[in-house]
Amino acid sequence: MPRISTLRITRSHKIATAVLVAAGSVTAIAATGSPSEAQTTATRSSISVEPVAAAGIPTAKDAAAKKAAQETAAKEAAAKKAVADRKAAAEKDAAKERSEKQAANRSTERKAVTPKRFANNLDGWIRESLDIMKKKNIPGSYEGLHRNIMRESSGNPNAVNDWDINARNGIPSKGLLQVIQPTFDAYHVKGTPKKLTDPVANITAAANYAADRYGSIDNVDSAY
């Protein structure tokens, strides 16, 4: 093969090789990309991405939200219960107060309706008279009444004096404390029988008269 031909092939080969190298450089640059693009990619890679929950599996955020909702519901339930408890307690107190008032009213009514019972004898008559005298503000004691009754009639409610001046004037003294009819009528105590010889009516009328004349039946020690 001639030498010249060999040299030409050699040069052509070199040129082709140079072209291939150049082309490879361009391809490498294109594959690598520009510096700015590389930096952007690196920056994007450094940003943390929150993991997305898989279907049906709650994230920590979901769990926290659920817990907060449960705590709020529990607080609301507790508040409602506290209000209900206070209301129930207030109603219970009000019911108790009403019951106590009703019981007190019934007791008062029973006391008002049920009269006191006194024995049907001298002791009972004196005690019943004293009970009435106390309500009417008429002074007198058991001792004062008993002492004067025993002196005037010896405890006989039907005793009649038919010999003194009153008897001679047609208005004899009668009863436990020997009261004449005009005095009885003037000093009769309302609420007692309008009968001169009724034991209680006789005692209270005489005590009322003595209080007006002497300050009290206790101050009487003789005929009055």
For residue 8, the model assigns a pLDDT of 47
For residue 202, the model assigns a pLDDT of 98
SS3 120: coil
| More confident: 163 or 27 | 163
Q: Which of 84-98, 103-117, 190-204 has the lowest mean pLDDT?
A: 103-117
For residue 53, the model assigns a pLDDT of 52
For residue 58, the model assigns a pLDDT of 76
Q: Burial level of 210, CB count in 10 A (0-12/13-18/19+)?
A: buried
Q: Which of 181, 171, 135, 151 is nearest to 143 (CA)?
A: 151
d(CA 138, CA 85): 57
d(CA 33, CA 23): 16
pLDDT of 48 above 70: no
How far, CA to CA in Å, does 43 sit from each of 38, 39, 211?
9, 6, 121
pLDDT digits (tens, 9 = 90+) for 58-108: 788 888 888 888 999 999 999 999 999 999 999 999 999 998 988 888 877
Identify whether the C-beta of residue 210 lies closer than 8 Å to the C-beta of residue 217. Answer: yes
What mean pLDDT value characterizes the chain? Answer: 82
For residue 6, the model assigns a pLDDT of 43
pLDDT of 20 above 50: no
d(CA 198, CA 20): 158
d(CA 203, CA 175): 8
For residue 56, the model assigns a pLDDT of 64
